[in-house]
Chain A
Amino acid sequence: MKISYNWLKEFVDFSLTPQELCKMLTFLGIETSVVSGGANWTNVITAKVLNKQKHPNADKLSICTVSDGTKEYQIVCGAPNVAAGQTIPLALIGAVLPGNFVIKASKIRGVSSDGMICSQEELGLASSSDGIMVLDENLPLGKKLEEVLTDIDTILEIEITTNRGDCLSHIGVAREIAAKLQKIPALPQIKTSKCVDKNIVDVKAKDLCTRYIGCLITGVKVAPSPKWITDRLEKCGVKSINNIVDITNYVMLELGHPLHAFDASAIGSNKVVIRRANDNEKIATLDGKTHELNSNDLIIADAVKPIAVAGVIGGEYSSIKDTTTEVFLEAAVFNPGSIRKTARRLNISTDASYRYERGTSWEIAETASWRALNLISELAGGRVEFREDYCIPENKRAVINLRVEKVSKLLGYDIDEKTIANILRFLGIEINSRVQDVLIATVPSYRNDIKEEVDLIEEIARIDGYEKIPVLTSSSGVSSAVSSCDFQLTENLINSLVGLGFCEAMNYSFAEIKDLDRFYLKYSYKILNPISKENEVLRSSLLCGLMKNLEFNIGQACSDIKLFEFGKIFDDKGERKVLGILMSGPVWQPWWKWESSKLNPVFDFYFAGGVISNILPSKEFMISENRTPAKYYHPGKTAAIVYHGKVVGQFGVLRPDLTDAVNGEIIYAEIEVENIEKIYKNKVNSYEHIAKFPSVKRDISVVAAKSVKFEKIEKIFKNVMKDGGILKDWSLFSVYESDKLGKDKISYSFRLSYRHNDKTLNDNEVNADTSKLLEKLNKDLGITLRN
């Protein structure tokens, strides 16, 4: 909201500059900034041009002799409109104009100049000007310009938090200033009178309208407003319409309460009904639109039709026109939630609805009504035919108990009762009585944000200043609970992946349906109100985002893609955290030394498997047949990751038709981190004694039918090891296929590691054990030793 600095001064006497005021208000909780105007200069005085001569060396310049009443100055001036006899603003040597422009003694084309005659633009009083500013010739000379220009003003922009609707007016801001400076704000003079009550107001929706003051004024002359009103409206960004409408707006800007003026001749059968609209009832409003109403909307109606959407916007039909002579003036208090609901549904935000949504005061409603009546009779003539005031008995000021010790206890510093009482008094909060250490505070109705004790404590802290609250760095104890999940696991996974050269990506949680379709993915959560297609659904996999990143980076001529992301996915199982890993292209960026060592691997299924087994927190995670592979995987190149029989993720090569963007394969893994966190929580690898006796290595090569699943061989090894024999470890170091082996045969080479816990093994013992293993492989799987 725009606030006039000068207008504030009508209500509270203060000597702060606009900048100082902004700072003070900001530290009271109202963010304030200067938007325009003000006297942003120093050392500019009133002076008279005594004579004007042509500059000898420049056609467009003149040399003026200027007097401040006691002293004469020679000024070189370039403005065409400068003339002898004018009273003008003179910036003296050392003056500072807006934009930190400092006036210095200078020579212009060989003639010295003792200052500058200013234009409005140079003084920051207008955005552009044609020549120098010519002042009223009757002004005294040698005076500070800001002292004689009584109509210069500064416009402030204030931002109000949602709880402080009471500050949306000049009186509201003035009250804040007064409270901080410990002054009593002055209110405008209100004249009240006794009026007839004709009982035409009928409040039907008693829950939504708690006060309604209606007045009929006859013999009104609608005309343009006087300048002092239009000036102030303009400063606050409100368009002038006519004197009646302008007065309602003026009073709203002054006191903060919205008013509405109807053309009384448009109100049929002399009835004003405040009721809920009927479904499908229509009204043409001041914004030139016709709105359809429903039974949630509060309206002002005559006996038959709506004449205004209560608190939001008036009807076109009942608006004040040039021909209007009878005015019905409304000052009402409506339910904030109801007004907000209607305003949002109709997509209308007016100065009135903005204030009503934030809550209005039943007391200010009355003041505002009288203030507007006074101004109407003063500026538009007319006489009050009748005045009716509907006010529910529940309209009372809130009474709140405040325990003095509670203030210090919550804020953490000692603040005495005298200070507390003083702060509250200047906020208009009365302490009428006290019971022991409890102050009984009565809160003015415009402070509808103050509902309980803590609200009063906030007021005390705010006015006393948050800077007074000490900084206590020795803080209270620690939480009694243990983390809800194992963050260390995520941290370890990130560290491992980063160590392996992977970069962490972060994508939006949204997806487009067409992108999900591309990867054969379904969605489970659709956004009801997306801003664009890009966020129509929640992602059900991290793949879409990571693939977008891959394609983007390949477009930037980057071929080695190693990305991972931790994030929530949303599918039919709900919301859960997963880890997605995407890899493609060379494992390493090209380097000349790789050439000679022929070390240029690219990512494939097996390399990816190595990465995954490397990052998983224990050897208990294993590969198994992927029985329910995601559809985006190549069905022959995918595996499940299992932990004690429980699937915790899958990985594989993406279907070739999804990978047109790259040469070679793309491998994607999606791992259920939350699952692992749950089953793996608090697991610690316990210490195993290091063997005292050396191990013996044996390499064996075997031939198997291709139809034999490798996992079956693996199982035999594991079972043998589990039996506690001397076989302690094994690894696969070569896989070989050739016709020489026979049709559909494959050869595996293993390195076996044997060790005895209590002695050094000899060859015979090792050979015997190897033979036993080979026998088992042969018996169970038909595997033979390769010659």
Chain B
Amino acid sequence: MNNINEILKEALDKLKNVGLKDTAVIEDIENIKVEYLGKKGKITEILKTLSSMTIEEKKKIGSLVNEAKIELNTALENKRKEISNKLLEEKMKNEKIDISPAFSFSFPKGHRHIISKTIQDMSNIFVSLGFDVYSGREIETDWYNFEALNIPKDHPARDTQDTFYLENSECLLRTHTSPGQIHVMEEMKPPIKVIVPGRVYRNEATDASHSAIFHQIEGLVVGENVTFSELKGTLKLFINRLFGQELDMRFRPSHFQFTEPSAEVDIKCVLCGGKGCRVCKGSGWLEVLGCGMVHPNVFRAVKYDPEKYTGYAFGLGVERFAMFKYGIDDMRVLYENDLRVLRQF
């Protein structure tokens, strides 16, 4: 019996020493296993002597030997795990690669155009405020672009909207997205709450801040009790969500033929926070959109009863917002489609 305990102790001691020197350690564990539990192992040998013992002794010694076997096996297994973990750690340590070129893997990445992205961002905000999206036409008639919007022929309001006309046709390229208001009101019945994003055309030379083509988002809300106060609220929510911060806004009286009262909206300059900079020309404010209450003549043009309905409308320039938001100082950059620019956003 002492014999078994001694053999077990001897085996466990040997096992403890495994791995203190560094080579062939898994084999060392196997060798210990063979030496004690193999066919001719020291513990196995004791079992062989059992046959010459009494039943009493057999029971006693047999169970002692089995316990020793289990203990040794467990110890062997634990040691094996410990050693293989150690070996794996070492192996991985040796496998360390140079990580530095990883970000130079130029996996093809696509980019959305900054204007298209801005239109989408803006539309999403308006949709979240309950607006529906309507897409208008780019070729329009004088009626939709001007007359129905209370801009008669030979009215000085036309001076600000130099128009491209089409040859051999009564049509023109829309100078603003406002004709969308007329189409929407002709096609739907109040309550109306829509935006009309789209491309507009002005017959003017292109420079850093002008372009013959740009994009607008028109908004129109018509109902039985729509107020100026609500217009202010909607635009405030829009601006705050777009810029992700509470931005000071101010409404200045202005004039558009198709709204009355009309206002122009300034926001606190997003670049300097109102201190005055190059972009806001030192004023601390950026003029960002025009708006107002729908003029009764516009309702009359679409055969709505101006006594029953009121409404508000607004129009904003997408490029202007994008340029403020992303610090772009030349509008022409937006239409060059230089991949070095497209890939920035």
Residues of A that sit less than 8 Å from B by CB: 26-29, 31, 161-164, 336-338, 340-341, 357-358, 409-413, 452, 454-455, 457-458, 461-462, 466-467, 469-485, 487, 491, 494, 497-510, 525-531, 535, 538, 545, 549, 552-553, 556, 558, 560-563, 566-568, 570, 574-575, 577, 587-591, 593
Contact = CB atoms under 8 A, between A and B. Distances in A.
B62 interface: no
A412 B156 contact: no
Interface in B178-233: 187-194, 199, 201, 203-205, 212-213, 221, 223, 225-230, 232-233
B229 A505 contact: no
Contact of A476 (B113, B205, B230, B295): B230
Interface stretch (B36-44, B91-99, B133-141, B270-278): B133-141
Interface string B333-344: 011111110110
A553 B337 CA distance: 8
A344 to B, nearest CB: 8
Contacts of A552: 336-338
Given A163-B255, A454-B296, A525-B169, 15 more contacts: A164-B255, A411-B229, A412-B228, A462-B253, A469-B229, A479-B193, A484-B134, A484-B187, A485-B135, A487-B123, A503-B113, A505-B337, A505-B342, A553-B338, A574-B139
A509 B293 CA distance: 32
Nearest to A502: B110
B112 interface: yes
B255 to A, nearest CB: 3
B79 interface: no
Interface of B: 104-113, 115-116, 120, 123, 129-135, 137-139, 152-157, 159-160, 164-169, 173, 187-194, 199, 201, 203-205, 212-213, 221, 223, 225-230, 232-234, 236-237, 250-255, 257, 260-263, 293, 295-296, 310, 334-340, 342-343
B191 A480 contact: yes
A472 B164 contact: no
Contact of B199 (A474, A504, A568): A568
Contact of A487 (B133, B252, B255): B133
7 contacts: A337-B154, A471-B229, A472-B232, A487-B135, A508-B335, A509-B199, A588-B108
Contact of A527 (B167, B193, B205, B221): B167
A27 B252 contact: yes
Nearest to A349: B159
B193 A535 contact: no
A-B residue pairs, 9 tightest by C-beta: A412-B229, A501-B108, A412-B227, A29-B253, A161-B255, A498-B110, A458-B261, A337-B154, A478-B130
Given A411-B228, A484-B135, A527-B165, A475 B120 contact: no
Contact of A337 (B105, B135, B153, B233): B153
Q: In this complex, which of A31, A462, A501, A503 has the most chain B Cβ atoms within 10 angstroms of its Cβ?
A: A503
A566 B198 CA distance: 12
Nearest to A26: B252
A589 B106 CA distance: 6
Contacts of A409: 225, 227, 310
B230 A452 contact: no
A338 B233 CA distance: 42
Nearest to A506: B113
Contact of B156 (A358, A528, A549): A358
Contact of A466 (B155, B203, B253): B253
Contacts of B230: 412, 472, 475-476
A503 B343 contact: yes
A457 B227 CA distance: 12
Contacts of B337: 505-507, 545, 549, 552-553, 563
A467 B134 CA distance: 31
Given A161-B254, A558-B339, A531 B203 contact: yes
A608 B135 CA distance: 30
B343 A479 contact: no
Contact of A472 (B229, B263, B338, B343): B229
A508 B236 contact: no
Contacts of A577: 135
Given A506-B116, A552-B338, A593-B105, A458 B227 contact: no
B111 to A, nearest CB: 5
A454 B311 CA distance: 12
B193 A478 contact: yes
Contact of A503 (B166, B236, B293, B339): B339
Contacts of B105: 591, 593
B343 A162 contact: no
Given A480-B189, A503-B111, A462 B261 contact: yes
Contacts of A590: 106
Contact of B115 (A411, A413, A482, A506): A506
A504 B113 contact: yes
B135 to A, nearest CB: 6
A502 B339 CA distance: 10
Contacts of B257: 162-163
B336 A477 contact: no
B339 A471 contact: no
Contact of A587 (B108, B110, B336): B108
A457 B293 CA distance: 11
B229 A562 contact: no
Contacts of B188: 479-481
A563 B159 CA distance: 38
A247 B197 CA distance: 51
A488 B105 CA distance: 32
Contacts of B233: 471-475
Given A469-B229, A552-B338, A461 B253 contact: yes
Contact of B133 (A476, A483, A497): A483
B110 A479 contact: no
Nearest to A487: B133
Nearest to B132: A479
Contacts of A498: 110-112
Q: In this complex, which of B107, B110, B113 has the most chain A Cβ atoms within 10 angstroms of its Cβ?
A: B110
Contact of B232 (A29, A462, A471, A499): A471
Contacts of B225: 409, 476
B215 to A, nearest CB: 9
A341 B115 CA distance: 38
Given A454-B260, A498-B111, A479 B131 contact: yes
Nearest to B151: A162
Contacts of A570: 139
A702 to B, nearest CB: 35
Contacts of B133: 483, 487
Nearest to A460: B261
B227 A589 contact: no
B146 to A, nearest CB: 13
A480 to B, nearest CB: 6
Nearest to B153: A337
Nearest to A342: B154
Nearest to B139: A575
B190 to A, nearest CB: 8
B257 to A, nearest CB: 8
B132 A476 contact: no
B204 A500 contact: no
A502 B227 CA distance: 44
